[in-house]
Structure 1
């Protein structure tokens, strides 16, 4: 008989096109993707399935707010799933150097490179192309595993440039 997997952490870069990143209790990225919900009504219908399809969860981490965040939070509340909400500025401050945040373009390029290093360190499948929302979700999830104590610090292999 197989054992039940340990609950993970799901990070969501919010939007009608959302980035999703699932982390294991060991702090490593398991899966990531971009999903286009298309409309608020389709998002409302899809969120319960997305959460159910990820397996057991210990935390949901959301970047941003507004009506899209409310949909995710309502479903998390229904499941008694703890939610951490953070702004992009806050997780970037913890993960990116100040010189990488001088402009939006610099921050996006730095985030892409850091997300790819997380993918490599985690031994997750490599993307042929990495959408910006998926890269942001990967880093949001890294912030989340640091925040909840699943990792004590950003791994040296990820931080190295």
Structure 2
């Protein structure tokens, strides 16, 4: 089974793992605290998840290079995406008026994806994990692993979409 790992980049990193059926398998937030710990963490995460065929990263710079190098060593396809790209795909302009609005709406949609996927429900959902979940669903759509958002997720979206 092919897997996609989505990363909301930062020292406080959001991670989301998807199966080729487009369902979320797991998600989490991890505070690496330093670039060196992130380097070791990325290595350990990718070693610990066999079957990752694609890595989608939101963000750039030196931290993205860490993930890209680890992926390259394993033959994993990498795609970088800016927040504005996946937000435009899933959020209305009024839901993106401010960063806090976008994060709140991303959290709401992430919870729907968690429910649809049958993944364990969070007691609290950090914004970096929520954004990794949305980066991941964007990735499985981009790769063509699923043709469109499932109806259960679309229901929360505006009828204009």
User: Which TM bucket (shorter chain)?
Assistant: over 0.9
Name which of 36, 42, 46 aligns with 2:41: 46
Q: Give the alignment of 1:1-161 within 5 angstroms.
A: 6-161=1-156
Unaligned runs of 5+ residues in structure 1 are: 1-5
Which range moves more in the overlay, 126-135 or 48-57? 48-57
Q: What is the Cα-based RMSD across aligned positions, in Å?
A: 0.9
Deviation at 1:140, TM superposition (A): 0.3
Unaligned runs of 5+ residues in structure 2 are: 157-161
Deviation at 1:99, TM superposition (A): 2.1
Which range moves more in the overlay, 93-102 or 132-141? 93-102
Partner-residue secondary structure (3-state), 2:70: helix
- Show CA shifts across 1:25-56 (max 9, x none): 10000000001111111111221111111221
TM-score by length of 2: 0.94
- Show CA shifts across 1:122-157 (max 9, x none): 000000000110000000000000000011111121
Structure 2 CA distance for aligned equivalents of residues 54 and 130 of structure 1: 22
**Contact 1:47 1:75 survives alignment (8 Å):** yes
Structure 2 CA distance for aligned equivalents of residues 103 and 16 of structure 1: 22
Which range moves more in the overlay, 142-151 or 90-99? 90-99
TM-score by length of 1: 0.94
Structure 1 CA distance for aligned equivalents of residues 87 and 80 of structure 2: 14
> 4+ residue runs of structure 1 moved beyond 4 angstroms?
none
Partner-residue secondary structure (3-state), 1:62: strand
